Amino acid sequence: MAILKHFASKSSNYGASLDYVLFDHDEKSGKVLRDANGNRILRRSYWLDGVNCDPFLYAQECKTLNNQYNKNQKPEEIKSHHYILSFDPKDVKTCGLTGEKAQSLGLAFAKRNFPGHQMIVCTHADGSRRSGNIHVHIFLNSLRKIDVEASEWSERAIDSRAGYKHHVTKKYLQHLKQDVMNMCREKGLHQVDLLARAEQNISDREYYAVLRGQDRLDKETTEDQKDLATADAGSIPQKTRFQTQKQYLRDAIDECAKDATTFDEFYYLLSDRYKVKVIETRGRFSYLHPDRNKNIRARALGAAYEKEALLEKFLQNCQEREMQTRVPISFAGFDLETHPILEVLFIESDLRLVPDLQKSIKEKYSHVNERKILLSTLQEEARTVAFVQMNNISDLDELENRKRAAASLAADSETALLQTQKELKEINRRTHYTGQFLDYKDTFRKMTKVINKGKYRREHEKEIRSYEEARDILRRYTPKGKFPSLRSLQEKKTELTSKLAEQEKTCQENNKALDQLSIASQNIKIILGYSETTREHNSKKISEDRNVPRKPRSRNRGPEL
């Protein structure tokens, strides 16, 4: 399972890269480790190569190139890039991966994807905390040294020319991850899909925060244990596992998602048990930790904590709970294992099949067609009758009236939602042009005060045109009077956003209610035989069957209802 990490650095100390790959460093503090004499400790093993430079003169040659093109001179410029290609520890035993092989793979990867740059490529076999996973470090100067041929994944023409900088985009990183996956599959190494979202998104910053926090906690625990040795036996030790706020949210969400079947239930459990609030904004979840004032977005926690994954989890829980609450009806003298078609299932409630439906089943099972009724049909009939009873619907006309009312309510909510969306769109447009108007207002005012207005306008033509465009558009909204302030527009936008979220929820509820009533109406018509022709045929058939003399029924021939 090879993974790829990328870091951009604004530090001008190129020598620190070479020091890192050659000497041991403390993982938590990042400082160089020294022996008893104060000398730096070399790493146990490493493989080092240079590309377009001498690896031991990497710092000097990078600075020389920067001075030649007068680039990387400002503090805010990105001066180097660091890529880490880390292989699965299982590759060592099962695939025969060695440091030499990993170095050749990393060197080929660097030359293939970063041509023209000064680079040092170094492989370490120790891994994080001596875990044993082989990994390759690639440090490259952000400035390209020589011209190269344009590649198919280059996004700009200058990405192949000397004197221009390394350009990293989301699309480019996806290309690099795909190249890593292809390389590992070609060499028979373990690999996962690097382009898929991780279920738990634990960044390096969070990882090292856990290491430092756990060390502090271990020291505090050791001191507490010393104090407990001299204290009363009834003293309670403190917690021994450090947990970040993000991990607290992950654990809380995992526990509550196991028990929840709906979002409302999940919201209540999370708030009641862990004091965590769930906020939905524009179809995305975010969570508020009890010790924070700012939300943490679900995508920062991982794919398993986003809205789509959780709703799918709730649906699975609901289906599992429904399977557990199914209760079969047993018929006297009838083996349900031999005839599973007669197993009728109920939802979890005190409701039972109404007498008319019981009679219908009995009649159907009393005649020739008794074995042709599917189990799924009986289940849907039971659910439909239970729905009608729970909603106190007395007849089909009342059901149709409720369906028409629900359709009207759903249409009204859709109309209101579309109107709010339109208003929000207009507010966003006004906010945009109000900001544009204010940005170039001073430039336009200065033009009214200068003597040579034509020259000033030519020099600031773009700014003045932007000002006039924004002014003309804003006048359409307020032909008379003063333009509204940017703050008032933002407040209006916040108000409409909240209103829109409530209307979306209401619209979903109304549509769900309409769907349930529509399905219930169709099922009831099927159960009762909605057409008059069907009713007359069924009545005639029942009368004829009742007048036909029958032989005594065998004991195992059918159910006794």
DSSP assignment string, 26-56? -TTT-PBPB-TTSPBPBPS-EEEEEESS-GG
Task: Output the tens digit of pLDDT for each of the chain's 561 residues.
Answer: 578 999 999 999 999 999 999 998 887 777 889 998 889 999 888 999 999 999 999 999 999 999 999 999 999 999 999 999 999 888 888 888 999 999 999 999 999 999 999 999 999 988 765 567 899 999 999 999 999 988 887 888 888 899 999 999 888 998 999 999 999 988 888 877 777 777 777 777 787 788 778 878 787 777 766 665 555 444 445 567 788 899 999 999 999 998 888 888 899 899 889 999 999 888 889 999 998 889 999 988 988 899 999 998 888 888 888 777 654 444 344 343 444 433 333 333 333 333 344 444 444 444 434 444 445 566 667 777 777 777 788 777 888 888 888 889 989 988 999 999 999 998 988 888 888 888 888 888 888 888 888 888 888 888 888 888 888 888 888 877 788 888 888 888 889 988 988 998 998 888 888 888 888 888 777 777 654 444 444 444 444 444 444 444 444 443 333
521: which residues sit within 8 A by CB, 6+ positions away? 396, 399, 400, 403
| pTM reported for the whole predicted model | 0.50
Look at residue 378 in the predicted model and tell me its pLDDT. Answer: 66
Look at residue 118 in the predicted model and tell me its pLDDT. Answer: 96
Which tokens belong to 29? 């503090």
Q: How far apart are CA 212 and CA 202, in angstroms?
A: 15
Its sign, for the CA torsion 62, 66, 68, 73, is: negative
Domain boundaries, the chain: 3-187, 206-218+241-322, 340-394, 398-528
- The values of phi and psi at residue 210, to 5°, are -65, -45
Q: How far apart are CA 537 and CA 430, in angstroms?
A: 67
Q: How far apart are CA 233 and CA 193, in angstroms?
A: 53
Interior angle at CA 224, CA 221 and CA 226, nearest 5? 115
CATH topology of domain 3-187: BirA Bifunctional Protein; domain 2 (3.30.930)
Look at residue 490 in the predicted model and tell me its pLDDT. Answer: 86
Helix (H) / strand (E) element for 7: namely strand 3-9
Look at residue 326 in the predicted model and tell me its pLDDT. Answer: 54
Look at residue 130 in the predicted model and tell me its pLDDT. Answer: 57
Place of tokens 């020739």: 368
